[in-house]
Every structure is written in structure tokens, then in C-alpha cells.
A and B are shown apart, each in its own frame.
Chain A
């Protein structure tokens, strides 16, 4: 699925091809983003992700390449076209926000409003700040704001000019865990409301999966795989991508359940329980090494595949429970797993001393087990198994419903 189908380019879409020699990598990327879509560039630091944003914004001129957005050509090196950043209209959300330290919050937002009559600037800036819930901080300087407040001011500043493309550089990395949930939802709202192409740069696969419509894994300057987050997590093309994608991502609808748990009805069938709160459309993530695999009757005996979870996933009979790492290989750990999905093995990929097992259970998911365990369970492509993990290992990430937590 790597760039196989030519995207039907809407006139307002973003299209980038760029080659640029960096200090230790050669960036070479081609990407298209449709209006209203968000492409996440996921990769380790130094992979060239932020360079792509800088090229789109005009802060860096690529050695070679073409950038088109909103029906205009911003860069065409062969024709000598290079529109300066101030003429491009990019809503750029910087890492650490980059708020002007000498200006109050509203003046930060109003900074880009030179086309608006002077007396309307303040009102427009404050209205936008209010829309992000920080109207009361209009006169505060950035050093008086918390991380989450700064993020909102920066968002207001980025969108107040109605940009034609949104560029988000590690938008959540400067935030602590408690603020991150709400900031994620606000970002998702912004992406939904602004019907423009968006590029998100992150090293966090779950963040990408939550906010983006498509994920592109970038490594040493090249896009090595792209597609839906769930698909990439389920069948990573290389061991590097397997490492990068880290978590399994499933989508579904959350509702409160008994005992303070949350019940998630997965899209495509199946039910999960989580200790996280959540309501409405959500993404659920779990690390592949949290998932234990159990043989289904006939292929090893004893494995009970209760879809509603429950303590029914017994692993003692026949040593069919396979975990990864210490404590994962015995009954007690598996016995506390509340989630169990019947699945079919779709792929087996060796990642170092582990085996990544691609599974299909309505949605694709991945488990990571020891190579030894694959032999003991007799895993092969097409074999039925039960994938089980604890409710407490199940993270619920809201996909943008403002009513959550």
C-alpha cells in the first residue's frame, strides 16, 4: 500500500516531493494529503520528519522538489519557484509551542492578523482564545501559562488566520500525561473543523493513530510504510516498523460498565474491557507483549475463548498459555486477563529473539511472543488462537468526543 494508488488530488490538497541532503540522512519523500485528511509522519528523532514540515512551511528550501498546496505551487526547484513562508498561509504548531515571550496571549494570537482591521484584531483573537477555553488568559504572558494553556494559545494562533494547511510538530510531547488527553481531543476537533490537509509529526505511534487518517513511517529520510494505523500495527513491513509502531490499535465504541470498568464494542465485532474511562468513539491500544496467545480446542486443548472476557481464559491445561517474558508463561498471569478475542494467525515475523504474530480478530492486531512459544503452540498462518490480555493493560484513547473524562 506504499503509495500504490495515485490520490485523486482535490484542488485544496497538499502534495510534496522533496529531496534534501541533511547532515546525516538524505531526505527523499513523496506524499499527498487530501483536504480534511491528516497524515502522520512517525519515526525516531533524526529521521527527517520535522524537515518535511519545514519544507512545506518554507522555512527550508529543499535541494530538489515540488510543493503544491491549495492549488498553488509553493516550491518548484527546477523552475526556481520558492514562495517565502510569510506568503504561504501555514498553521504551524511548533514543538514547545514557540509563543512569543514578549507578547501577551491575545497579542500572540493577533500577531498574524495583519489583514484584519486593527480594531477588530483584539476581538477576533479573544474569540479564538475563548473557543479553546483560555479567553480569561488573554492578557497573560506565556511564562505565566501552564503547558496545556500554552498549547491552546499556540493552537489559537495557528488557526486564527484560517491557514490552508496545518503542520503539527510533536504537538503533545511538551505536555504532561494529565493534560495530554484533553489536548488530544482538542487537536482532533481542530482537525475535524478545518477542512484543510494536515501533516502531523510525532514519534508516538498511538498519538499518530489517534489523530491521523493515514500514518507514514519514516526512517532515515524515507517513508518505509504507509497506511491506516491499525493496518501498520497489525502487519509491520519490517522489524523497524514493528518497533516503531509498538502498540496494537483497535477502534470501537466505549460505554461505562460494571465495577468502574469501560466496555468497548469493537468495530467489526468483539468486546473489550478497560480500566480506563471512555465514552463514544475511541481508539484502544495495547502493547503486543501484553497479549498472550492460547490454543483453541483441537490445536492444543483447553483454551477457553470467552469473548466477554471473564476469568475463563485458563492456561494450565497442556501448557498452551504462551506469554512473553517472566511471569507471562504461567497460569496466574493469564488468569487475570479479562479480554479474550478469537483470532486467526495471518503472519509470523521474527523481531530479534521474539516473534510478532499478526492476527485477525474482526480488526487486525499483533501479539509478540518468544520464538520458542510459537513452536510449543504450533502457530502457523491460518491457525485459530485466542488472544488475551488484562483490562488494566488496555488503554482507551478518545477519538475526539468532548464528553470524555
Chain B
């Protein structure tokens, strides 16, 4: 190899290293700044604030309920999408994935148009006294709407990776379709399902725009942690930092859990 080629190669590698350094620095800097700017004392003070505690509690309750709904309804739906070929399947998949790319403001308007007091579904719901706008149920509705596609997508991919012959083997060994699904398909796809759940949960935890428009920001009723951060960043920056630090820590813990759980999974897990 000539000296020129060696030099070019070294320059290329150096450029790659620089690019990665810039990416890592840019992506981690805001996260690091949250912890650097807020002293541990101020952080704890912020958390002792009852309104912050309310917001965190509400966030955890709403995201958990939303996650439960997403898993219970989304898992069978994803299984159907992954294993059956039917007319209009690709249209269904596109519709299901649409919220992924929808601007939060559009999602909020859409939810209002559908479930609001004058909405298509909202009016009959209101007659039954189940109007979700400006209620905790409204928060959950918004979270499910924006987060479900993350789970569905991942779950569908995980189920598609399940070898058909495992399902066939299960059937010939005396298990019906439901039992095969519960005892083979779900355990085998476990890694992908958990990854999808974590992504959906993370998305729900950070949900801001659609919740604000659809459910409002009322303390202890609809004010989730991101809304509480927004409310206080102009007046109580340290308080906002403290809540942010808690949210970042929660998200990091989820990501880490997924990586650890996913490593032991058979298909569709996060490798690394």
C-alpha cells in the first residue's frame, strides 16, 4: 500500500471518529446539563413540592394504564397482522402506523374532533356521562393514541419472526390455536414485545402536545410530568430541572431493562 493510500485511509477513519464524537456529544449534552445544573439538594427540593409529586404520580398511573390497554388489545391485533394475509392488510398497517408520523398538535385536534363534546364518538359518550375531554381518562386516551403504534409495529415484527414450524409442532402436540399462541408464540416473541412495550411506554411518558390540547393541564387531574415541567420552566427553572432529571432517570432505567431482558430473548430482542 502506498503512503498516499495509507494517509487517505487514516483520514477517513479519523473523520468517522469525529462524526461519532459530535453525535454522542450533541445527544448527551442536554441530558448531562440537566444533572449538572440542578444540585442534588435543589433536585430533592423540587421533588418534595407536592405539585411535582402529583404530576409524577399521575404520569406513572396514566402511562401504566395506557401501556396495559396497548398490550391487551395490541398483542392480539399484532398477531393477526403478522400471521394472516387478508385483503386490505397493507392499508390497515398504514392506518395503524399513521400516528407515528402525525404532529402532536394534529393528534390533539383529531382526538378533539373524534372524542370531544361535539365529536363523532364524543357526543354519545357525553350523553352517557363518559366525556373524556379534560379528565384523566382523556390523558390515557391521548397516550394510547400516540404510543400504541410503537408497540404494534414492534410486536408485529417480533411475531413475524416466529418460525411457523414451532406453531405447527405445537398444534401436532395437542395444543389448539389459543394455547399455541400463549405457550409458544408469545414466549418466543417476548424480547420484541418487551422492546415494543418500552418504546410505547417511553413515548407515553414524554407525551405533551396531544395531552395538553385534549385533556388540558389541571393539577392532579390531567397535569402529567411533562406538562408540569412546561408550566414551571419560566417561573421555577430549578423545579423544572428536578422533574426533568427524574424523567430522564426513569427513561434510562427502562432502556437498560429492555437491553438486559432483550439479550436473553429468542427473536426480535435488542441485541448488544
- Residues of chain A at the chain B interface (Cβ within 8 Å): 54, 57-59, 84-92, 94-96, 98-102, 111-112, 114-115, 157, 161, 167
Contacts and interface: CB of A to CB of B under 8 A. Distances in A.
B174 A161 contact: yes
A44 B123 CA distance: 64
B176 interface: yes
B184 A100 contact: yes
Contacts of A157: 169, 173
Interface stretch (B97-105, B133-141, B160-168, B193-201): B160-168
Contact of A92 (B168, B187, B188, B266): B168
A101 B173 CA distance: 16
Nearest to A92: B172
Interface of B: 163, 165-166, 168-176, 183-184, 187-188, 190, 266
A16 B183 CA distance: 31
22 contacts: A59-B168, A84-B176, A86-B172, A86-B173, A86-B175, A87-B174, A88-B172, A90-B172, A95-B165, A98-B163, A98-B168, A100-B166, A100-B188, A101-B266, A102-B184, A102-B266, A111-B170, A112-B173, A112-B174, A112-B175, A115-B174, A167-B172
A99 B171 CA distance: 13
B166 A86 contact: no
Select the residue from A54, A91, A98, A115 with max chain B CB neighbours within 10 A. A98
Contacts of B188: 100-102
A58 B166 contact: no
A57 B171 CA distance: 9
A237 to B, nearest CB: 34
A96 B165 contact: yes
A94 B168 contact: yes
Given A98-B163, A101-B266, A86 B176 contact: yes
A101 B167 CA distance: 12
A94 B169 CA distance: 8
Contact of B187 (A85, A102, A161): A102
A89 B174 CA distance: 7
Contacts of B172: 57-59, 85-86, 88, 90-92, 167
A86 B165 contact: no
Nearest to A91: B172
Nearest to A101: B266
Contacts of B165: 94-96, 98
A142 B175 CA distance: 20
Given A86-B175, A90-B172, 18 more contacts: A54-B168, A57-B168, A58-B171, A84-B171, A86-B174, A87-B174, A95-B165, A96-B165, A98-B168, A100-B166, A100-B188, A101-B266, A102-B187, A111-B183, A112-B175, A114-B174, A115-B174, A157-B169
